[in-house]
């Protein structure tokens, strides 16, 4: 049985003060509850310490949205995995579609970053997913295969517990348009089969694959209830405590 994960990707929202308030809101709503899955928030770099103070001692894990592909030195504007570890980061999101698109990040960079994260004893969430054009042309699975094949075989110490995948159809991110549960399940099952080919059947069985793209309280239960969907990577709905906790409730409900 795979443990669900609900991860909030705050993107470029919530400075330290607002982030602390948001995290406190979530923590307050979860207080006293025993969750059967993992809950993670990924604030912007500068807000991580403030959120970490609030997250400390409650079930919310701390993540980052990116890291450098080098360990340190003359890389202006970059933040290393060692620095993230020092401020309590446990998970780092890599290859989000916005970074693929706006920063033109490549498979080689994803591989370097994930290897550094795992080497540092942290965990990575590797995002992948097709754009609308590919979906319309019936190429969604082909694109997903290419994205997974470009990275997974090159990872050095990845296993089912230090790596999480996140399928995020780009056309569903921030658009209010969600993949139907059937569409999500289809790609998740195909992705798991690809993981089995590339990393072995046992890794594929235990590795978590999250769904991301306009996930909200109203659709979380049905999406996360699909057999190969192990949780959600949440953007917009992670910015309001009630919505984020509503999605966690949806994930919990799949276990009842
Ligand atoms: P969204 O974003 O939930 O706002 O669609 C998801 C993501 O980009 O991770």
Phi, psi of 176 (to 5 degrees): 85, -10
Q: Clarify whether 205 is annotated catalytic.
A: no
To test the ligand 1 pocket, which listed residue (132, 215, 243) has its Cβ within 8 A of the most ligand atoms? 215
Q: How many CB atoms lie within 10 A of CB 242?
A: 11
Q: How many residues does the chain have?
A: 256
State the distance from the centre of ligand 1 to the C-alpha of 39, rounded, in angstroms: 16
Q: Which residue has the tokens 């139907």?
A: 180
Which position has the token pair 């235990």? 206
CA–centroid distance, 213 to ligand 1, in Å, is 5
- In this prediction, residue 144 carries a pLDDT of 98
- Non-local (6+) Cβ contacts of 161 within 8 A are 123, 206
Whose CA is closest to atom 6 on ligand 1? 235
Pocket test for ligand 1, best of 213, 233, 244, 250 (most atoms within 8 A of CB): 213
Do the beta carbons of residue 44 and residue 10 sit within 8 Å?
Answer: yes
CA–CA separation, 102 and 183 (whole Å): 26
Is 96 considered catalytic here?
yes
Instruction: Determine the pLDDT at residue 55.
Output: 75
pLDDT at residue 25, as a whole number? 96
Backbone angles phi, psi at 130, to 5 degrees: -90, 160
- The residue to mutate among 65, 209, 236, having the most atoms of ligand 1 within 8 angstroms of its beta carbon, is 236
Model pLDDT, residue 248: 98
CB 121 within 8 A of CB 167: no
Q: Which atom of ligand 1 is nearest to the CA of 213?
A: 5
> Mean pLDDT across the stretch 162-184?
94
Question: Please, are residues 110 and 94 in contact by the beta-carbon 8 Å criterion?
Answer: yes
Average pLDDT over residues 77-99: 98
**Calpha distance 186→253 (Å, rounded):** 22
Token pair for 216: 């909200």
Distance CA 13, CA 21 (A): 13
Residue 224: give the domain boundaries.
Answer: 5-253
Which structure tokens are listed for 135?
A: 């979906």
**pTM for the whole thing?**
0.97
Give the CATH number for residue 93.
Answer: 3.20.20.70
Cα of 123 from ligand 1 centre, angstroms: 20
Domains in the chain: how many in total? Answer: 1
Does residue 172 carry a pLDDT above 80? Answer: yes
Ligand 1: residues with CB < 6 A are: 9, 168, 173-174, 212-215, 233-237
Reply yes or no on whether the pLDDT at 84 is more than 80: yes
Q: Tell whether the model's pLDDT for residue 121 goes beyond 90.
A: yes
Q: Which of 98, 105, 130, 168 is catalytic?
A: 168
Burial 171-192 (b: 16+ CB within 10 A, else e): bbbeeeebbebebbbbbbebbb
List pLDDT tens digits, range 21-68.
Answer: 999 999 999 999 999 999 999 999 999 999 999 976 678 999 999 999
Angle among Cα 174, 179, 185 to the nearest 5 degrees reads: 135
pLDDT in tens, 176-230: 888 999 999 999 999 999 999 999 999 999 999 999 999 999 999 999 999 999 9
């Amino acid at each position: 049985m795979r443990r669900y994960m609900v991860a909030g990707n705050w993107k470029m929202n919530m400075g330290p003060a607002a982030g602390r308030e948001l995290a406190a809101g979530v923590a307050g709503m979860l207080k006293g509850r025993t969750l059967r899955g993992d809950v993670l928030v990924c604030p912007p770099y500068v807000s991580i310490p403030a959120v970490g103070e609030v997250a400390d001692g409650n079930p919310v894990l701390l993540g980052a949205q990116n890291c450098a592909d080098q360990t340190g030195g003359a890389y202006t504007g970059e933040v290393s995995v060692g620095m993230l570890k020092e401020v309590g980061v446990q998970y780092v999101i890599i290859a989000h579609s916005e970074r693929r698109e706006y920063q033109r990040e490549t498979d080689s960079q994803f591989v370097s970053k994930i290897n550094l994260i795992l080497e540092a004893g942290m965990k990575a969430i590797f995002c992948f997913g097709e754009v609308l054009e590919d979906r319309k042309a019936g190429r969604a699975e082909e694109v997903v295969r290419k994205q997974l094949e470009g990275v997974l075989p090159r990872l050095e110490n990845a296993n089912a517990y230090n790596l999480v995948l996140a399928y995020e159809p780009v056309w569903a991110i921030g658009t209010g348009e969600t993949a139907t549960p059937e569409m999500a399940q289809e790609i998740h099952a195909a992705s798991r089969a690809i993981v089995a080919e590339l990393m072995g059947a046992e890794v594929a069985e235990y590795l978590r694959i999250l769904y991301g793209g306009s996930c909200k309280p109203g659709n979380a239960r049905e999406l996360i209830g699909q057999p190969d969907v192990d949780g959600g990577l949440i953007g917009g709905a992670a910015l309001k405590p009630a919505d984020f906790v509503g999605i966690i409730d949806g994930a919990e409900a799949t276990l009842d």
